[in-house]
Amino acid sequence: MIARAQKRFGPPPVSVTLVAVSKTFPAEAIAPFLAAGHRVFGENRVQEAKAKWPALRASYDGIELHLIGPLQTNKAREAVALFDVIETVDRDKLAGVLKAEMERAGRNLPCFVQVNIGGEPQKAGVDPAEAASFVTRCRQVHGLDIVGLMCIPPDGEPPGPYFAHLAALGRQAGVENLSMGMSGDFETAIAMGATHVRVGSALFGRRPPAG
Ligand SMILES: *Cc1c(COP(=O)(O)O)cnc(C)c1O
């Protein structure tokens, strides 16, 4: 019923990219997804990606690997070599170093700006109030190709309002994509306009507790 109404009256549904988050899982656990045709994956650590993905890329074409974890500037060179999309740009220093490394490598990677949507002190990301101006600076001052916003809402709270807030910030900043939603809340995120959902445990199973 809803789909029929959308078809008659609504905008065309946006397509949603499934970023399969393979962090902590070994190459043997990832290979079946590649064999089945899936190509978009997410990792949160540069060192781990370096250990796993070059061999997988040698076996499978067309892989698109997203960095979804925090990036230190001293790892930017490796990140630019290993990843195809950087989802966690959140400060000027990193934006500048990333651009320099991309020029050096001759790669212009699409990037997302990470927004600390719950304003949590322990979490990475730009302040929501600064998201739009930071996107503008990344584009105009640093010359990065910013394609979207990314967020991780606070644990233990209904995520819908945070996703809606990110969607509003995305419109304000003039970006096309929203990376939001994980195993527990990707349906809510899609309802709020996610174009990329980052799903790990629902695909790969439970991870060992972070050490
Ligand atoms: C681990 C992780 C995910 C996936 O989490 P699941 O709950 O396993 O789906 C998504 N986004 C980021 C940034 C992550 O670190």
Pocket residue to mutate for ligand 1, from 25, 198, 201, 207, most atoms within 8 A of Cβ: 198
Q: Which domains does the chain have, with CATH numbers?
A: 1-199 (3.20.20.10)
The backbone region for 156, taken as left when phi is positive above 0, alpha when psi lies in -120 to 50, beta otherwise, is left
Residue 211 has pLDDT above 60, yes or no: no
Contact yes or no for 153/162 (Cβ under 8 A): yes
Cβ(182) – ligand 1 distance below 6 Å: yes
Residue reference for tokens 């309802």: 191
Can you say whether the dihedral through the CA atoms of 83, 84, 90, 93 is positive or negative?
positive
Mean pLDDT to the nearest integer, 71-99: 98
The residues with which 65 forms a beta bridge, in sequence order, are: 41
| Closest listed residue to residue 153, CA positions, set 140, 165, 142 | 165
Higher confidence at residue 11 or residue 168?
Answer: 168
Model confidence band, residue 31 (pLDDT cutoffs 50, 70, 90):
very high
- Residue of minimum CA distance from atom 7 in ligand 1: 183
Cβ(44) – ligand 1 distance below 6 Å: yes
Q: What is the 8-class DSSP label of residue 193?
A: T
Average model confidence (pLDDT) across the chain: 95
What pLDDT shows up at residue 3? 77
Q: What is the pLDDT of residues 14-28, one digit of tens each?
A: 799 999 999 999 999
